[in-house]
Amino acid sequence: MQGGWRRVKVKAFVNLKARQLCFYLRAFWQGDLPFRELELFFWDTLEEWGQVSYQLDQPYSQKERVFWHLLHQMHFWHEDKLMYDNYLIEELANCIHYLEGKGYCPFDCVGIRP
């Protein structure tokens, strides 16, 4: 889908990238994905986002806010904290559950578009 994001709406972008983000984080926690792949996913996602056309005053959905929050958290924390901090893992897992339609929207996620 490289190069074709201009025709994609924010909702479609978030839906696709949220599924991928959840998959990548789970694989990392299971030891099946190296940390550097998370970083590459982060930068690829930002590059692709730069190609999405949207209005600056376009409202956020709850799902979009949780997606941006989770993506930022994944990039912000270092590898050991992401892998071994039980409190952080629980917080991020709650975000994943919501993005996958299996949980409630975490009220403390305030992710914003880059």
H or E, element range at 91: helix 86-99
The three-state secondary structure class of 23 is helix
Q: What pLDDT is stored for residue 6 in this prediction?
A: 55
Single pTM value for the model: 0.91
Q: What is the mean pLDDT of each run of 10 residues along the chain (114 residues)?
A: 62 96 98 97 96 84 96 97 97 97 90 91
